[in-house]
């Protein structure tokens, strides 16, 4: 899929304020600093579309980007270790979960996991919550440019082993790096397929 246009639409503090309309939507989620905003920039080919930072906690609202005048990407705050008070983290978590549960046109969420770390409790908790609520997802391992191939493989296997205790079949997995562009094709292919199957009147 070729990205012809990508524009910021709005930032919302709650799901009720998100843009109206029938466009299919895809969310990028994961721990703070995992690379959500960078991945949105990488797949759209726009380096400054979503704001990034080396300091965790940069994205604080639900940000909608309209792509090809036909579908939305959303960039959300992270869960986990953002440098913000616990009360703010809790607020973000409530906002994220309500958005996920009530945003009807959200077709698939990309759950990003930093490939450098082994399975983390916050990631596993969030994945299990998604599974329990039957929310469609694709796992995306990020920052693969920072690890050797054998280490990558080892970490992905650890996750798959843990997930297989509760998931059958396992969700799709994409390996990515915003630094090298790896994973772009796989993510856009999945989105193109979901767009094709989408019928807002179902
Ligand atoms: P919050 O909005 O704070 O939750 O963070 P985020 O998940 O949106 O992460 P962001 O895209 O802002 O990236 C965090 C840091 O990681 C930045 O310094 C990025 O340059 C860096 N980064 C993101 N993706 C990659 C990657 O694939 N490879 C490398 N080497 N660095 C990356
Ligand atoms: Mg961000």
Q: Is the pLDDT of residue 201 over 90?
A: no
Confidence of residue 55 (pLDDT cuts 50, 70, 90): confident
8 A C-beta contact, residue 60 and residue 36: no
Cα 2 to averaged position of ligand 1 atoms, centre (Å): 24
Least confident of 23-27, 44-48, 83-87, 155-159: 83-87
Residues with CB under 6 A from ligand 1: 32-38, 52-54, 56-59, 77-78, 82, 142-143, 145-146, 177-179
Atom 14 in ligand 1: residue holding the nearest Cα = 33
For residues 24-53, average pLDDT: 95
CA 138 – CA 94 distance, rounded (Å)? 21
Out of 142, 178, 182, give the residue to mutate to test ligand 1, the one with the largest number of ligand atoms within 8 Å of its CB.
Answer: 178
Q: Which two structure tokens, joined as six digits, stand for 117?
A: 């770390």
**Domain 26-58+74-197 coded CATH 3.40.50.300:** yes
Out of 33, 80, 144, give the residue to mutate to test ligand 1, the one with the largest number of ligand atoms within 8 Å of its CB.
Answer: 33
Phi then psi for residue 65, to 5 deg, are -120, 130
Q: pLDDT tens across 107-132, in order?
A: 999 999 999 987 788 898 899 999 99
Q: Is the pLDDT of residue 157 over 70?
A: yes
For residues 136-145, average pLDDT: 95
Angle between the N-to-C axes of helices 184-197 and 36-44, in degrees from 0 to 180, rounded to the nearest 10:
80
Q: Where are the domains of the chain?
A: 26-58+74-197
For residues 147-169, average pLDDT: 90
Q: What is the pLDDT of residue 181?
A: 97
């Amino acid at each position: 899929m070729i990205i012809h246009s990508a524009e910021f639409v709005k930032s919302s503090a709650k799901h009720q304020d998100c843009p109206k309309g029938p466009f299919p939507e895809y969310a990028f989620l994961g721990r703070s600093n995992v690379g959500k905003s960078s991945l949105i920039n990488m797949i759209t080919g726009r380096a400054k579309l979503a704001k990034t930072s080396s300091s965790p906690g940069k994205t604080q609202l639900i940000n909608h980007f309209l792509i090809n005048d036909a579908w939305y990407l959303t960039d959300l705050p992270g869960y986990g270790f953002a440098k913000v008070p616990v009360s703010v983290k809790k607020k973000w978590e409530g906002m994220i979960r309500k958005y996920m549960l009530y945003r009807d046109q959200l077709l698939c969420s990309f759950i990003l996991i930093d490939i450098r770390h082994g399975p983390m409790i916050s990631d596993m908790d969030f994945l299990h919550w998604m599974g329990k609520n039957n929310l469609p997802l694709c796992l995306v391992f990020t920052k693969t440019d920072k690890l050797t191939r054998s280490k990558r493989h080892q970490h992905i296997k650890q996750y798959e082993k843990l997930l297989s205790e509760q998931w059958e079949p396992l969700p799709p997995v994409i390996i990515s790096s915003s630094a090298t562009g790896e994973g772009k094709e796989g993510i856009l292919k999945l989105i193109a397929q979901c767009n094709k199957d989408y019928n807002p009147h179902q």
